[in-house]
Amino acid sequence: MNFISEQKVTPLTRNGEMLSGSEILLRTLLAEGVECVFGYPGGAVLYMYDAMHDNPEFRHILTRHEQGAIHAADGYARSTGKTGVVLATSGPGAANLVTGIATAYMDSVPLVVITGNVSSNLIGTDSFQEADIIGITQPITKHNYFVRKVSDLAQTIQEAFHIASTGRKGPVLIDIPKDVSAAVTEFILPDQVYVPGYTEEVASQSVDKDAVDSLIDALRNSKKPLLLAGGGVIQSGGSDALLDFVNRTRIPVTTTLLGLGAIPADHECWLGMPGMHGTYAANQALLQCDLLIAVGARFDDRVTMRLDSFAPNAEVAHIDIDAAEIGKLVPALIPIVGDAKLVLEQLNRVVPADWEEKKGWNSHLHKLKKDYWFRFKSSDKELKPQYVIEMISRTTGGEAIVTTDVGQHQMWTAQYYRFQKPRSLITSGGLGTMGFGFPSAIGAQIGNPDTTVISVNGDGGIQMCSQELAICSIHNIPVKIVILNNQTLGMIRQWQELIYEGRYSHIDLSGSPDFVKLAEAYGVKGLRAETPAEAENVWQEALSTAGPVLIDFVVSRDELVYPMIPQGQGLQDIILGPDIGGDTDDE
């Protein structure tokens, strides 16, 4: 089967037809513009899957595990900006979605999660494969629904998409009992969505002009301003507005992990990522700045480290669509509740044309960036993981969509891949979910069929969802699956080495399978490299292959991620490592 972008067929949505709940579900999803649903069938959703039978309008990808399905839907959503959709059965099927729901919730990703449940008359009786998925997921969803009447189904689905994709985005769950999916009613698709008690925050439609003027005044009076851009900039579609603002003001900018790509990595004002494994220049800028403008960032502890040493000399302006985030961790002198894109556009309208760059401050930070950029000792014989990421970045020009799992490889990707555009890094930020990287790449590739998608994994995380290789093989989804294979749980080993005095406990992965043979067993091409020369050759072969390829890069077991700030320490306590520092011409 060739991997192609399927033409979306507009569904027949004539009101007044008598349809089952399952048919209403499918038609309403199509009316919402859903291109693909990721799922796994079971008894409670069989009427829904029966409705899919011989339905040419409806595209469904059968994953090999529900967790793979929801991570794929997440990757689709992050990479396209659309709402991802996942479908699972009751009980264990629904419960297998929980990690993925929490992942999306922490990172504000719009998903509609559809679960089946036992028939209404069996709810609460501990019947076979019954679980209170509403109760289980309430803390990790933006909203959830239990559908009691089939006549409510179309409106419920529309409301779910509206809530998931407006304001601060997030996952919404719809639980549908089996009898509701089977019941027949008149199909009525509402003309508009109205959710009592929910208004997509005023912040998403208007901007406080006085607050914006106060921010411009503070910026004008500042000598050492700094911009901290987070994932909210990308979620709002505000990357162009951010770049415009930086170009107008020449203000230095640092981007969080989820904000990478919001501004091109080759922009002279970009300082890199801040925090635990961030650049020396970005962390010094946070320590020294007198005005910090945070936009679409929630001051995660991996960014701030010890709060009492975070931006100690700065007045803080905080722009966020969620009012609950402002002042939650870092007091804000200038709070602006608003959509990041709209606020940045408003700022651009009021920045004076004769704005003067803070040249001394910029020159100081540029030198820090030049002198203390990421470096490692290369070797002709030993393959370093940093070399692999640099090679991938160089050969794709920073234009690929890159997904990662969680661990050392994630940080090396953040450090050494030169992201040039938004929505090009797909990674689990807040929850830090192992097993996320590979299936999220499948979703990203389906959503972006003409873009190179690369999944970077450790040899630990890849084994949590490796069964999804079947999907790549069956549908010829051309993801390039990179494994940085150091035969250990690398980040855990690093912490045990640096913080736990070298007491390595249960981190040995030397019993892992031969990943090349594993790929071949699923019908996917497998390659291996153990030296830089081999890496260059097999990577070029992978890029020139039309279908999916798994590449096992056997890398050094002892390599550590630097810089690093130990947990519980402040930004000033950065450990540069043996290879970073000194005045060189390299960046």
Contact 378, 546 (CB under 8 A): no
Please give the C-alpha separations between residue 313 and each of 238, 254, 585, in angstroms, as whole numbers.
28, 17, 31
State the Cα–Cα distance between residues 216 and 202, nearest whole angstrom. 22
Residues in the chain: 587
Paired sense of beta strands 84-88 and 37-40, if any? parallel
In sequence order, what are the residues at sequence separation of 6 or more whose Cβ sits closer than 8 angstroms to the Cβ of residue 580?
A: 280, 372, 373, 374, 375, 562, 563
- Nearest Cα neighbor of 414 from 78, 74, 403, 497 is 403
- Nearest Cα neighbor of 280 from 164, 160, 413, 375 is 375
Please give the C-alpha separations between residue 125 and each of 122, 229, 321, in angstroms, as whole numbers.
6, 49, 41
Q: Which of 82, 142, 169, 178 is catalytic?
A: 178
- Residue 424, phi-psi category: left (phi > 0), alpha (psi -120 to 50), beta (remainder): alpha
Active site residue 491: yes
Contact 486, 462 (CB under 8 A): no
Cis peptide before 563 (omega within 30 of 0): yes
State the Cα–Cα distance between residues 497 and 504, nearest whole angstrom. 7
DSSP conformation letters of 390-423: HHHHHHHTT-SEEEE-SSHHHHHHHHHS---STT
State the Cα–Cα distance between residues 295 and 232, nearest whole angstrom. 7
Q: Which of 3, 57, 129, 530 is catalytic?
A: 129
Active site residue 525: no
Active site residue 130: no
- The count of other CB atoms within 10 Å of the CB of residue 9 is 12
Active site residue 66: yes
Taking the CA atoms of residue 237, residue 571, residue 266 and residue 430 in that order, the dihedral angle to the nearest 10 degrees is -40
Active site residue 420: no
State the Cα–Cα distance between residues 391 and 417, nearest whole angstrom. 9
Q: Which of 128, 367, 377, 517 is catalytic?
A: 128
Q: Report the Cα 68 to chain-centroid distance in Å.
A: 15
Contact 405, 435 (CB under 8 A): yes
State the Cα–Cα distance between residues 575 and 139, nearest whole angstrom. 37
Long-range contacts of 143-147 (CB under 8 A, 24+ apart): 143/172, 143/173, 143/198, 144/172, 144/173, 144/174, 144/175, 145/172, 145/173, 145/174, 145/175, 146/117, 146/175, 147/21, 147/174, 147/175, 147/176, 147/177, 147/180
Taking the CA atoms of residue 76, residue 79, residue 83 and residue 88 in that order, the dihedral angle to the nearest 10 degrees is 20
Q: Which of 273, 305, 491, 564 is catalytic?
A: 491
In sequence order, what are the residues at sequence separation of 6 or more whose Cβ sits closer than 8 angstroms to the Cβ of residue 266?
A: 398, 418, 420
Q: Which of 66, 159, 390, 559 is catalytic?
A: 66
Q: Which residues are catalytic?
A: 66, 128-129, 178, 491
